Structure 1
Amino acid sequence: MEADAIIRALGALAQEHRLSAYRLLVQAGTDGMPAGVLAEAVGAPASSMSFHLAQLANAGLVTSRRESRSIIYSANYGTMNALMGYLSENCCGGVHCAEPVRCEA
């Protein structure tokens, strides 16, 4: 990942409702969750949640799809794994420490 993408992703996660929503989406797996359910779960108004989800999508952390009248959001595991890989790239002082853990959805 390029530095600007890392900064955008970390910036998107640096807000309480966005971080909470993202964690719920990671837990939900590929099924994802509707925006309204996310808003209720994190205690945010639906209009605010739309803004927060747009920020996460802009950072590449979530994807969305339409199902009937609902928009379903899912965590983008590729971006999450790339971000975690970047953050832990030299975790053992440059010495190979362990196999990286990758989330697969």
Structure 2
Amino acid sequence: MKNSEAVEAFVALGQESRLNIFRLIVQRGDIGLTPTQMIEKLGIPNATLSFHLKELVQASLLVVERQSRNLIYRPNVALVTDLSEFLLENCCSGKTCAIKRVNKKVACK
């Protein structure tokens, strides 16, 4: 992953409503959510939601599929995985390590 791709994803997630939308969609995984379902859960107006979804799709964080009359939004798992790997690439001075959580902090084994 290039720095510019990571920056684009982080910029898209750097707004609270978009982060909330993304996290909600990630919770549904490959099932995804329709805009109507997102509006019901988050209480975001339709026009505002459309703007935020467009930004997340443009940053490749979400994929969208038309099913009949509905749009289904899902996380782009490949990009999220690449982004995670990009962030941890130099963990433990570049050595292979297993990440574990210790008291809500990440530590290398």
Q: Same fold (TM over 0.5)?
A: yes
Equivalences, count: 99
- Which residue identity is paired with 1:13? L
> SS of the counterpart of 2:23?
helix
In structure 2, how many angstroms separate the alpha carbons of the residues matched to 1:47 and 1:30?
A: 25
Letter in 1 for 2:20: S
Percent of aligned pairs with the same residue?
39
- 3-state SS in 2 of match to 1:93: helix
Which structure is higher in RCO with an 8 Å CA cutoff and minimum separation 6?
Answer: 1
Supply the distance in 2 between the matched residues of 1:28 and 1:50 (Cα, whole angstroms).
Answer: 19
Mapped to 2, the partners of 1:92 and 1:35 lie a distance apart of 41
Residues 9-43 of structure 1, C-alpha deviation per residue, up to 9 Å, x if partnerless? 00000111111111111110111000121133222
The equivalent residue for 2:71 is: 71
SS at match of 1:60: coil
1:33-75 deviation per Cα after TM superposition (whole angstroms, max 9, x unaligned): 0012113322211111111011110111000011222111000
What root-mean-square deviation, in Å, do the aligned CA atoms of Structure 1 and Structure 2 show? Answer: 1.3
Q: Does 1:88 align with 2:88?
A: yes
| Structure with greater strand share of residues | 2
The gaps in structure 2 that reach 5 residues or longer are: 100-109
1:79 & 1:5 partners in 2: Cα distance? 9
Which residue is 2:23 aligned to? 23
Q: Which runs of 4+ in 1 moved over 4 A?
A: none
SS in 2 for 1:33: coil
Partners of 1:20 and 1:32 lie apart in 2 by: 14
Per the alignment, in what secondary structure is the counterpart of residue 47 of structure 1?
helix
Any gaps of 5 or more consecutive residues in structure 1? 100-105
Structure-2-length-normalised TM-score: 0.85
For normalisation by structure 1, the TM-score amounts to 0.88
